[in-house]
Each structure stands twice: as structure tokens, then as C-alpha cells.
Structure 1
Amino acid sequence: MLEQCIAEEDQLFKEQEHCRDELASLARLTQIKADEREQKSKDFLKAQLKLHNIIKEIKTKEFEIREYKKKKKEIQRQLKGFAKMYDVIRNERNKCVNLVHTARQKTTEIKERVKMLENEMEILRDNVIVKERKLQKHLLKHSNNIAIKDSIQSDVCKVIATLQEMKEKREQQLLDVDRLTNMITHIEEEMVQLRKKYERAVLRRNER
């Protein structure tokens, strides 16, 4: 019976050593999870800062787009004015032609006036061409800004998805930490039971 108690005692010692090793392993794992949780928190803060900067840049681009729209309206208004002016000049030219037919004595003067009007039309036409080119450039720049805005919105969606994924991983890690904590508590309770069992075995041995 004494040898049996000694064997039980050895077995209890071995179980206690195994439990200690397992407890140390769980403690290391808990520390690793805590470090990972801290790193994920830092990554989350960085992602939030990046999202804030992207939103700020989007607002800046939207302001620039509004300015370009205002410039576009102003150019269109000027083009309408040029078109009206062109119509007026064309009407004046027609009147001049009629005057040539009705008053040949003013032929030279009218020709000079027509030539002057044609020169003005050429200047206006050149101005219209320049304005159209500027308008095309503004439209192209506006299209590029819209593409940049769409790209930034896509990046924002990706960042939001990443944040959501990180949040889910963080919640899963919190659950893992809670589970490990419960396991450690359970193992500690088992160690207390083993210690009590060992003390009872020692007491029985002493009594025997």
C-alpha cells in the first residue's frame, strides 16, 4: 500500500508538472495574442488616419470641380455672346451688300467697311477657336478629376472593407483571449484539486 501511495504520488507529481508546462504554454500564447491585439489596434488607428486624409482630399477635389464648372458656364456665356455678335456682323454684312446694290457711289466705303467687318469676324473666329480649345482642355481636366474622384472613392471603400476585416479579426482575437483565460482558470482549478488530492494522499500515507 505504501508503494502504491508512492506511485500515486509520483503520478500526481507528473500530472502537476504537465499542468505547469501547459499553463506556461498558455501564458505565452496569451502574451502573443495580446501583442497581436496591440498591433492590430495600431493598424486600425493608421487606417483611420488614412481614411481621414482621403476624405479631406475628396473634399478638395470636389471644390476644384465646382470651380471648373463655374468657369465652364462663364465660357459658354461668352460663346453665346460671340455667337450673337457674329449674327449681328453677318446682318450688317448683308445690309452692306444691299447698300452696294442701291448706292454704287458708296462702293469703296462699303467695301472697306466689309473688309473691316471680315477682319473682325476673323479675329472673333480665332478667339472662338481659342476659347473652344480652352474649353476642351477644361473638359478634359474635369474628366480627369472625375476619374481621380472615382479612384479615391474606390480606395475609401477598400479601406472601409479593411477596417471591417480588422475589426472582425480583433473581435475573434478577443474571443480567443477569453477562451484561453477560461482554460487557464479551469487548469488552475484542476491544479488546486490535484494539490488537495495530493495532500489527502500524503495524509493517508502518514496515517498508514
Structure 2
Amino acid sequence: RDRVALSIAQKLAKVKEVELAARIKEVELAELKKIRRETLRRIKDFEKLYNLVKNQRNKFVNLIQASHQSITEMKDKSKILSNELDILHSEVHMKDKLLGQSRSQHATAVTERDSLRIELGKFGATFRDKQSVVDEQIAEVDKMNAIINTTEKEMLKLRKQYEVVIEARNHTGILLIDRNDELCILYEKSNIQEEVLKGGELELKRREDEMRILRLEVAELQRSIAVAVKVVPQIPALDEDVARLQKALLETRREAEALSLALENPANQSRWRLLEGKIPDKEELSARIQQLEERLNDKKEALLEKELILEEVTSLSDKLRKQAAEGRQDTLELAQKVNEYQSRLRAATRKIMATVSELSMYQATSLKLGAEKEELATQVSVAAQRAEAGLPPTEEAEREWVRLLREEATVRELATMREEEMAAADANALVASAAEPRPNAYIPEDIGIPKPYGAFSPFKPSEAGSTMRHVRKPQPKEIVI
């Protein structure tokens, strides 16, 4: 019984445990169901969000494709507009060129008109100038006739003066020949005097050299005589001095030999001694000074003699030079006078030649002016006859008149052409264009009348051109998720 009770108790405990476990499982199952429901709900929410995102993505992809397509279209339109703008620029440039050409043509026409007017005025002025020149030439011819008459009178006077001058020239030539002969004689005399002077100078120089040599010889002889005179009374004393000096020389030589032996002997202790000498006293010095003074006086006397001789020779040479200079001065004066006469003669000859050349020039000028006068007189008479006959004065005048008429007609034609061009330009002031007119105004709702855009007009793209057929329209791709 206890065992059964124990087993029952065990089984009851197990049942309780199983019930508890079942309850726990039920709670866990409820929790899991709750989690499943929450998960399903969240999955549905995410599915909705996914669908929403997918739709938005497709929408944005479509928008991107549409924007790309619009961008390509805008690029094509911008290219077309740039091409049109280039075309318009080229047209404007061409119009500017045409306008510049027309303006340049107008300016050239104006300048040609002004130049033609100026030339017309010049021709009129030249005609008047030529007429005045003709009158002046007629007056000049009369004046030249008067000048020719006066020139002929002056020519007669000049011929007479020329004859007088020729006679004076001949006389002067004769005198010049005489003076030239005298001048040659004087030149010969001066040459002879110069040769004599040169010979005298050479002889004087040779004599001076001889005198100098003789003076030297005389001085040497006088000195030798004086020395001999002084030496003659002292010959015996000098002989005694010579003998004494020879003895002293022998003794001195012996002493020198002994001294040299003693000096060479190394055993000699006293190898030196005081030298003996004699100091001259005042008497000897005064005698020596007196002797030198005597020699100095002799030299001074010789110098004075030479100076006296030099003064005499110098005075003689100065006299000779003075005489030679006086002779040269005379010849120089004569030569200067001859040169002066020759220069005067040359000047007179040049004046005569210049007068003759001027006279010939006046004659040639008078002949030329006479021929011109005759030619102008014939031209004037012919012009008067043609004018009386109703013809132009000269053929050149007729050609000039025809040219002036032609120039006037040309000027009138140019003026009419310019007026026509100006009228055509006024008529074509508005430039024709094939471009489509663009709106430059809008109609607001409040006033109901057109109002201009101003500086901020809206952009109006042009129509697509023929090149757009080569552009393929893009196809949008579907987005697969």
C-alpha cells in the first residue's frame, strides 16, 4: 500500500509536471502565434512599401528618360538655333560689307567730283595765268629790246675800253720784259755775291780753325818754356835729390824685405809697428796754395786772350753777314715788286676775259629773245585771224575746250547716278528677310492690348529642320525588380 501510494504520488507529481509543461507550452505557443501575427503584419507593410518604392522608381525612371529625351531635343534645337544665328550673322556681315562698299563708292564719287571741280578751277586759273604770261612776255620782249639797245651801246664802250686796255697791256708787257731782264741780272749778281759770301765764310772758318790751333800750340810752348825756366836753376839740387832718393829707395827695399821676412816668420812676436809719417805744416800748405793760384792766374790770362780774339772775329763776321743781308733785302724787294706787277697784269687780263664772256652771253640772250618775240608775234597774229574767222585761236585751245565739255558731262552723269543710288537706298531701307517673325509683345488680361516684352522676351524655338529625321526617339525601358 505504501508502495502504491508512493507510485500514485509519483504519478500525480508527474501529471502536475506534465500539466505545468503543457501550460508553459501553451504560453509559448501563444507568444509564437503573437510573433507570427506581428511578423505577417510587418511583411504586409514591407510589401506595401516595396510596391510603393517600385512604383516611384518606375515613375522616376520614366521621368529620367523623358528628361533625357527633352535634353536631346533641346540640344538639337539649340544647334538649329546656333546655325540660324550663324546664318543671320553672315547675312549681317554681308550687308555690312555691301553698306561699306556703297559708302566707299559714294566717298570716291564725292572725291572725284571735288577733284574734277578743283581741276576745272585749275584749268581756268592756268588759262588766265597763260594769258597773263603772254602779256608779260610781250612786255618782257619790249623790255629786252630796250636792254639790247643799251647793251649794244655798252658793247661799243667796252670795245673802246678793251682796245685801251690792250694797248696798256702791251706797254705793261714790254715793261715787264725789261724788268724781267733786270731781275735776271740782279739774280745773277746775287748768286755771285752768295758764292763769294760762302767762300768768305769757308775761308773765315778755316782761318779760325788755324788760329785756334796756333793759339793752342803757343800756349803749350809758353807753358813748356815756363816750366823749363823754373826747372833749370834746380837741376843740381834735383840730381842730389835723385841720388838721395835712390839711396832711400834701396834702404826702403831692404827694410821691406826684412819686414816681409819677419812677417812671414811665425816665430816673430812683434809683427806690427806704428807707421811713421809727416804732417805738412802751414808753410808747406801756403806754398802749395800759392803754386795753385799762379797756375789759375795763367789759365785766366789765356782765357782773356781767347775771348778778345773771339770778339774781334765775331765783329768781323757780323759785318760780313750784315752786308750779305742788305744785298738779299734789295733783291727781295725787287722780286716782290715784279710779283706785284705780274699779279696786276693777271687780274686785268681776267677782268677783260670776263667782260668779253658777259658780252657774248648778252648777245646770245638778245638773239634768243628776238626769236621768241617774232614767234609770239606770229602766234598772236594767227590767233587773231582765226578768231576773226570764227575759229578757235589754236588747235590746243579747241582740244582743251572739248576736254572741259567732256569733263562737265561726266560730272553730270556721276551726279545723276549718285542721286539714283541714293533713291534706291532709301527705297530699300527695310531689309527683306525670310525668317519667321518672332513675337515681341504679349496681351495681358487686365488691359487687353499688346504690351512689348522689352529686354526679357520669352524664348521661342524654331521648328525642327530636315536633319531631325536622322535622330531616333529614345524608347524608355521597363524596370524589372
Q: What range is the shorter-chain TM-score in? A: 0.5 to 0.7
1:48 is paired with a residue of what secondary structure? Answer: helix
CA deviation map 1:164-190 (0-9, x unaligned): 211222333343343333223212211
> Which residue is 2:350 aligned to?
196
CA–CA distance in 1 between the matches of 2:318 and 2:163? 58
> Which residue is 1:59 aligned to?
216
> Which residue is 1:74 aligned to?
231
> Which residue is 1:100 aligned to?
none
**Alignment-mate amino acid for residue 48 of structure 1:** K
CA–CA distance in 2 between the matches of 1:51 and 1:155? 10
Indicate yes or no: 2:208 matched with 1:47: no
CA–CA distance in 2 between the matches of 1:74 and 1:4? 100
**Alignment-mate amino acid for residue 189 of structure 2:** I
Deviation (angstroms), 1:74: 1.2
> Which residue is 1:161 aligned to?
315
Indicate yes or no: 2:149 matched with 1:16: no
CA–CA distance in 2 between the matches of 1:68 and 1:199? 87
Alignment partner of 1:181 out of 311, 324, 335? 335
**Larger helix fraction of residues:** 1
Distance 1:194 1:31, change over 3 A: farther
CA–CA distance in 1 between the matches of 2:329 and 2:187? 12
> Which residue is 2:191 aligned to?
34
CA–CA distance in 1 between the matches of 2:341 and 2:334? 10
The percentage of aligned residue pairs carrying the same residue is 9
**Alignment-mate amino acid for residue 168 of structure 1:** K
**Alignment-mate amino acid for residue 180 of structure 2:** L
Report if the CA contact (8 A) 2:190-2:327 is conserved: yes
Distance 1:193 1:182, change over 3 A: same
CA–CA distance in 2 between the matches of 1:23 and 1:197? 24
Deviation (angstroms), 1:197: 4.3
Deviation (angstroms), 1:10: 1.9
Report if the CA contact (8 A) 1:54-1:156 is conserved: no
TM-score for both structures, normalised by structure 1: 0.53
> Which residue is 2:88 aligned to?
none
Alignment partner of 1:6 out of 149, 163, 166? 163
Distance 1:10 1:37, change over 3 A: same
**Alignment-mate amino acid for residue 192 of structure 2:** D
CA deviation map 1:57-101 (0-9, x unaligned): 11111111111111111123259x6xxxxxxxxxxxxxxxxxxxx
**Alignment-mate amino acid for residue 196 of structure 1:** R
**Alignment-mate amino acid for residue 169 of structure 2:** L
CA–CA distance in 1 between the matches of 2:352 and 2:174? 13
CA deviation map 1:117-138 (0-9, x unaligned): xxxxxxxxxxxxxxxxxxxxxx
> Which residue is 2:455 aligned to?
none
Distance 1:29 1:53, change over 3 A: same
**Alignment-mate amino acid for residue 211 of structure 2:** I
> Which residue is 2:244 aligned to?
none
Report if the CA contact (8 A) 1:30-1:180 is conserved: no
TM-score for both structures, normalised by structure 2: 0.25
CA–CA distance in 2 between the matches of 1:192 and 1:8? 13
CA RMSD in angstroms comes to: 3.6
Report if the CA contact (8 A) 2:194-2:324 is conserved: yes
When Rg is computed on C-alpha atoms for both structures, the one with the higher figure is 2
Unaligned 5+ segments in structure 2 are: 1-156, 238-300, 364-481
Q: How does 1:121-160 map to 2 (within 5 A)?
A: 157-160=311-314
> Which residue is 1:115 aligned to?
none
Report if the CA contact (8 A) 1:19-1:191 is conserved: no
1:77 is paired with a residue of what secondary structure? Answer: helix
1:162 is paired with a residue of what secondary structure? Answer: helix
